[in-house]
Structure 1
Amino acid sequence: MNSYGEPQSSRARARVPGSANAAPDDDQSSYSASARPAPDAYRRGSAGRASVTPGRAAVGSAAPPPVGSARVGARASVGAAAPVRGTGAVARAAVRPGPSPVRPNDEGSIGGGGRPPGGKDKSKAAKRRRRTNILTAAAAVLVILLGAGVVGGTYFFDDVDLPSPVSEDQSNVILDTKGTVLAKLGEQNRTVVPEAQINKVVEHAVAAAEDKNFYKHHGIDMKGIVRAAWNNFTGGDQQGASTITQQYARHAADLKDISYNRKLREAVIARKMEGKYNKDQIMGMYLNYIYLGRGRYGIQAAAQGYFGKSVTTPAGQKNAITPYEAAVLASIIKQPEPTATHRGYDPTINPVDAKARWEYTMANMLEMGWISKEVYDKRKYPTVKKASTSSASKSTGSKPVDMIMRHVRAELAEMGISQQEFDKGGLTVTTTIDPVVQKAAEEAGSRKSESSPMHDKPATYQAAVIGIDPKTGRVLGYYGGDDATGIDYGGYMNSDTLKVDGGQSPGSTFKIYTLAAALKEDISFKTRWDGTKLRPNGKKISNAGADPGTVCKGQIKRCDLETATIKSYNFPFYWIADAIGRDKVIAAARDAGIQHMYTDGNKQFPNGKLVDLKKTDASVWKQDGYFDNEVAFGQYRVVPLEHAEGVATIVGGGVHHDAHFIRSVSRVDPDTGQKSIVGSEKIDGNKVFDADQMSNLQSVMKEIVEVDDRDLRNGQEGIAKSGTWEFNEGSGDTWFVGGMPQLAATVWVGGAKNKVELKESNGRDMFGAGTPSKIWKKFLDAVIKAKDLEREDFPKRVETGNPDSPFANGQAAPPPREPADNGGDCVLGFIGPDCNQNNNNGGGNGNGNGNGGNNGGDNNGGGDNNGGGNNGGDGDNNGGDGGNTDGGGGDNDGGGGTPEQQPTQPTLTPQNAGD
């Protein structure tokens, strides 16, 4: 006996899925609390069913045989009864597994009714059976009439409303641009399909397993009502004998309590449902609702999970569900998962009982004429897929791509798709993620990738890699960490609130916005700036320890903006912000795509205040405690994803597109099967910077790629800017940003969870032109190779701006020197083989490989991987380890402002988020 007080026969009725907190339909005294409960449901006995029709009650024609062995078709009429309104023939007899003869007039066949030939058995045994049946029928009729009367009374007088069909919760399917499933999100792994599209062999198999007379009765199982009444009267266990309609009625009405009253209400609702919906509609609702184990709800999810097929594929077509596979699915419904008393009918868990149940289903399909004798005779138990180790109802687990799901959920909310709609499921979300670009981002940025420059770095180091299409704003590749449930290092989006909760100091990479603001104010790259000028508070502007005598080839008081950009000196940018207004620098960053920026920590906000740049303006930005001129070279923390959006604006020639992860969202109508679009991307750009000014900036950024020896594959043009922000005595955040016309790329490397001093493998400080630039190049080269991209160039340079801008504060350029007449080949004093003597004091243009002059590079180590010289550093790794300083250069951001003013904020969320 099972925990429901009935034999665990393969012919018994299914438990019906319901609430996890709902009590089972029958007694659970022997149910183990430690066992995982399958969804609760009704069961029925296996010894046939009484049939009630207006004016007649039929209760079987023989003494009760052993459970499950009633002879098919046997029936005896017992007296005449008053018609019962709303009831119809609901007879059913259990059938042994195995073939049964199908006769043209057999009631079990599609053709119609009739009794088997041969006449009445006149033996003494037969007479005794008939007498027993008469007595049994008399008792049964009394109970049936009582039950029918209650049902009839309830039907007319009790306030029993017919519930609407339940809109079943489904999973939301998340796809990449190629249609590959990235994840399934939602509480239930269910895909609702219209009944009209379901292969009929599946419907017939389910009816054969659960309710073979489904297409004949009118929804009410009177025998179940009688048994419920009898057990209620005698104090026995409540037992179920529900039809498919009753099973669904219970689900639709959310009837969870175990009582005779509930059983009657269920019957009333079932009868009403049969009056409103046809059999196909009821079957469709049932099939989309039923639970079939392995976390799969609905027949479609089950077919995909057990056989990798769809129930909507028409019969006869490739990969259509076969009758044998349909019978397996139908046989699982009875008990999908193991309990304390039975192992269930999942064939991978309990193959013996699963096959016995399958034989029973197949026999009923033959009996009812739903398969031919030939199909039945050729039956062979099909191969079932093993259950996956991770639940199919959940997303892809802890893969890097799963971090994207946070951004998908956030964008769905922005599209007006509420959390309730999301939880209901049934959405198909096509993302912007290109699998080629995604793979390249993960392999370039993850420490787990053996080919990544991060592979040999400590576990306390972390990278983020973001690739955006500059022409549309689509995020094509996104690596924000390996732990899908951990910190989102690309977007700092909290997994619970879906709000920004962190950021990193961008260092010199923020200068691209300062330059965009300067170009907008008609400042030329030929303007000159004084590197000796002190701040208003009397402090120097740090240039990463560069010797003032070598800055700008000794022309520190008249350094041109182009050289300062390539060498990444800080002082011109500080004075640009001071001259045009730091609010204009912030506005340029906002227009490019940066929405959130943190202030420095203070007594009120120890971890800084998060400011929404789109909801505030200069009146806020210029207040005490917010932003100072150091904003011009990247002191204040930003979100890498938003920075990547801004970089894409520069790469795209000044046209801004919102960075986004969703291309389209659709939903299938469960009734019609028609797909409708409920959300879509907006890729119309907004021109925020002048195209000519951007060509000017892009051309300067091209020189940085060349100087840093980061030329791209196949000669593809690239533009870039490196950046570093200090932590303690070393580097805390390092960046390399830019891209090619086809793809904007942003790379950050910093501390995992908390800031750390970043070192290269040789023990030297890490700078943006070191490991981050290698990641950047590997990422873009991999995309070029995988996509076989043809070379695409940036627009030709248009030099804009006023070289004599009144904003500039440097000394005028010295007059050109007369060519020296030294009798040798030295044209204009600096062109020709005899001019080497002019480079002995540091005039060489180091390229990061130790090729500068005798005293090493242009700025004695102050440039971004531009140092060189005899002492040469290792430029390729540390960027600008120039000359006699033996590698103190880097991005020249070092401290940005003076060291004591630099933030040493933790990576995690400030205590108070801002405006």
Structure 2
Amino acid sequence: MGRAEDRRARQRGGRRAAPGNRSSQTAAPASHAESVPSAQGATRTAAGGRAAARRGAAKGGRGAEGGKGRIRRLFTWKKMLGGFLGFCVLVIGAFIVLYMTTPIPAGNAAAKLQSNVYKYGDGTLLTRDGDVNRENVDLAEVPKEVQHAFVAAENKSFYDDAGVDLKGTARGLLNTVMGRGAQGGSTITQQYVKNYYLTQEQTVTRKLKELVISLKLDREESKDYILAGYINTSYYGRGAYGIQAAAQAYYRVDADKLSVPQGAYLAALLQAPSQYDWASASDTGKKLVQQRWNYVLDNMVEEDWLDKAERDGMKFPFPEEPKAVPGQEGQVGYLVKAANSELERQLVEQGVADSSQEAEAMVGAGGWNITLNIEKKKQKALEKSVKEQLTSKLDAKKRPVDGDIQAGAVSVNPKTGAVVAMYGGVDYVKHYTNNATRTDYQPASTFKPVILAAALDQGAVTQDDQKISVNTVYDGTSKRPVVGSDIGFAPENEDDVDYGDVTVQTAMNKSINSVFAQLGVDVGMDKVLKTASDLGMDTADLKAVPAQTLGTMGASPLQMAGVYATLDNHGKKVTPTLIKAAESSTHAVKPADPIGGQVVSREAADTVTSVLTGVVDDGTAQKSVRDNPLRNGQKVAGKTGTSDDNKSAWFTAYTPDLVTSVGLFGESAKPPHPQVTMTGATGLLPGKGRVNGGGYPAQIWAAYTFGVSSKVSRFDLETDQGAAVQPSITTSPSQSPSEEPSEEPTTESPSSEPSKTQEPSETPTTQEPSETPTTQEPSQTPTTGTPTTGEPQNPLDPQFGSGTGSQ
């Protein structure tokens, strides 16, 4: 019994007394007790000791594991399952209560529609937009195929679903709770409910109401009723609410006369009305809307709503040119459109709107008071400058090319980021596209300062492992193949001029393509594009290839003004901002701070500024800027640009207090308005009379800037490099270029050397050169920046970019 009890005690964890203590009380047979008394006693004593030790260990184990045991007992799978089921019951119960207590409200969208008010920076009235353009039509007046186009575009399961997309709604709720805004996925019913019955605010409560009302509406109303409400309340851009207004705005027909291709375009348009409006869309936007149009038609075929043979024969229906809203003639319409676009972006970024479509609808619904940063004096001065320096000289009746010239300009305060003036085109009524914000033309050589900024900021070195500075010498030979690139590239300088060995400073002054192509490769094109992005350019879809050094990407005057404003602001990011404040009865939008962090070092930015003073005082902008009689000693840094085939010409420049980018663009006056050359405009000699950046763009810039900035200002630069530094090598071009443009003066020999100071000297180092230099003997000084070996590439090969060069 003693041993059995011992085992049971061990199994119970030692909670009972050791059996050894009971042995003396247990009677044993006399013969056995007499024969082994001492051995049995020893055994029992040892067993009792072991039991005591086990009891101590068991108590210690229970102390360490007791907490874990309690947690395991608390979170058993049964309890967790019960808790989850209980939560589900509560949620279902709450939803039932919400469903029972939430009625379908009276439609309120039409009652809230009103005009927007736009003001100048000083608070005076700029304009107010007109009455909302809306006219409801019965669904029976809309061709059945057009009805199906909207269903195919937005919600193929519309005729079969219960009015909601639970998965999409759950995703939207989660994003709202986490502060990430919402994503797509709403049904046509949900979109109609949001547009007509509710507000656009991004809250969990609103989304739950949207879900409940959509379910109720789908039970109580027919699908035709919901579809009619959807197409009659949606915003289509161009100020048009509803399909009837949209049909008139885009095709000049009533809704009952819409063809299937036209209806598919309007259905595709709803995803992004401004981006997809053919009249103002970028090249990317045009591609996207065509893809969306094809998507709609393909879905119609898939749902057996359209015969495939008929669909295959359909062509994209280009919409008509838009009609301007009364009161938006001249520059007003451009300012209103640009302000609306900026406000819409802010509404999405700040989580007020789910998407760009919702943001457009919110702004288009009206009721906004929008104050712009535009200054009356500067706005009028910019308009006057463009008229006097350019448009008054254009005569499309005498010269058809004059009808193809478009101008755009943006002026920014580099200390605040405020857009103080904007020129969008000759007249919003006559030319709908805003030339100040369009991004479909090349910035050409105005991109060269970005390459230099990247080189200085990154501490880049040449192929000879020498640190790059403004005095680094490169080979300026035209069509010289770049060295160190996996992609061959041999760009041509303008007029195929060979410059021999030149410093980076001289290459900037004379805008030498071959030097900056090699400089970009030395820095690394990925780093160049990264710097461009940091400075404010859109480089998301660009390939890091040497051809980008010629500024072959697209950019707008607004973007380039931001890039140069950041340089002017000593490398701290400047985001040009048109809106000072915007508020409605339900929302107040305060723009984000236009001044950001340091994106390139101050030394790099200031060195680029110093270098760019050389373009004005010793380069391609001498005649129009340096020698302008309106100049009153103001310091100016800037860069000219003239793209291949003379399709665009730029001058972007700045004083310490004002940055302005001016662009001229060759756009055919005939639809579909392709890009065309500007050569010969205003009577310049055909074939030779290029519209260079140092010509009309620089003249517009100077007349405007010197007219509104009379005070003498100096740059506060932390650098000892740039235009004020004596160049280590100064050479002249070595091959005979074509005859110079009539706008530009010729090059003469250098004058005395400038002194080395932080502030560039006002005294120019040379006489006025043109962007097309004259013939002189080549320099024989060897290159120190890069070798010249390598197999030349055909500069006309598309993969290497155009071969005519840019200035």
**Bucket of the pairwise TM-score, normalised by the shorter protein:** 0.3 to 0.5
The TM-score, its normalising length taken from structure 2, stands at 0.48
| Structure with the largest fraction of helix | 2
Give TM-score scaled by structure 1 length. Answer: 0.42
